[in-house]
Amino acid sequence: APRNSTEETITGVWSDVLGVDTVGIHDNFFEMGGHSLLATQVTSRLRQRLGLDVPVRALFTSPTPAALAGVVRELGTADEAPLIPLDRGSGQLPLSFAQQRLWFLDQLTPGSAEYLVPFGLRVRGTLDAGALGAAFTGLVTRHEVLRTRFVTDDSGRPAQIVDAPWSVTPVVHDVRTVPAADRERAALEIMAAEARRPFELGGGRLLRVDVVRVADDDQYVLIMLHHIVSDGWSSGILARELRELYMAAVAGRVASLPELPVQYADFAAWQREQLSGDFLERQLAYWRERLAGVPALELPTDHGRPAEREGAEGDTVYFSVPSEVTVALRATASGQGASLFMALLSLFQIVLARYCRQ
């Protein structure tokens, strides 16, 4: 049982994130089914409840509530600026470092579909298009990042501007008149074309919704976002909130969602403040030393690597891993205090090393 308020907070957060009833103070996060994305959720919730920036790496080095509580106690003595909302009166706001990378890549290859984030759903049964639009409008109203455009300021630096909420109207494509044998193909072709249609970062509205009706009670819903406003973790949050907003719109009630004390732009400014000065210089010096002299990976490909990158051509190879291998991988990763992702990434690196002999 938790011995103090910090352990009680940690076990409560783990219980919510992992979906389990009880968590002991010596239970291992990764042995309980935790992984990298869930670790990010845990540290984010701890940051909100404890008012401390608990780094994700702390969960890997201290994977039990008892050990993590010790890390939290040490962090409590650190001098760190609180995350507080920005003054929106200034108009232009800074980008986070992740957003700046994506903005820079978009400047290099404007019109590229490489950093689009598509989500496809198949909805069998009646779909209320009006409620769906209201749900997405609710998301845009709730999350400033979904109504943000990215511009260049007078000095040539990127900045973000939060616009007023806008009404989202899903675009409906109807293939019900297509012969039954060809409807699936027609629907997939429409979605594939929409998934390749780029966004213009300076124009804002980096969210699109398309509905492809296959039958009266069968349709696809395609949600398109740009990676500069969404990632793997936030997409899970948006999906859960979209469900609640849609159900509320159908039922004619107010959605039951918690208040948002800060927005992503607030985090971006806080991150800029934290990663600056001597701290930033120490981080840069560390990685310059670590990466100094690292050779390029010479893959034994069937043709030479071009001197410059030529587009984003590639392919996806699908394969299945037997369940017994998956179980063994999880057990091995857990025994090393690592996530399944870390184990698979290590195996991938071993394969590359063997092929390249580097």
* Distance in angstroms between the alpha carbons of the first and the last residue of the chain: 49
Q: Which residue has the tokens 């390249």?
A: 356
Structure confidence at residue 312 (pLDDT):
66
Structure confidence at residue 107 (pLDDT):
92
Structure confidence at residue 279 (pLDDT):
80
Distance CA 103, CA 272 (A): 16
pLDDT at 81 over 90: no
pLDDT at 198 over 90: yes
207-215 and 171-174 strand pairing: parallel
Question: What does the mean pLDDT of the chain come to?
Answer: 87
| Range of lowest pLDDT (178-182, 224-228, 232-236) | 232-236
Phi, psi of 276 (to 5 degrees): -150, 170
Residues 33-50 pLDDT 10s: 887 778 888 888 888 777
pLDDT at 323 over 80: yes
What is the pTM (predicted TM-score) of this model? 0.75
pLDDT at 78 over 60: no
Structure confidence at residue 29 (pLDDT):
86
How many CB atoms lie under 10 A from the CB of residue 93? Answer: 20
Structure confidence at residue 31 (pLDDT):
80
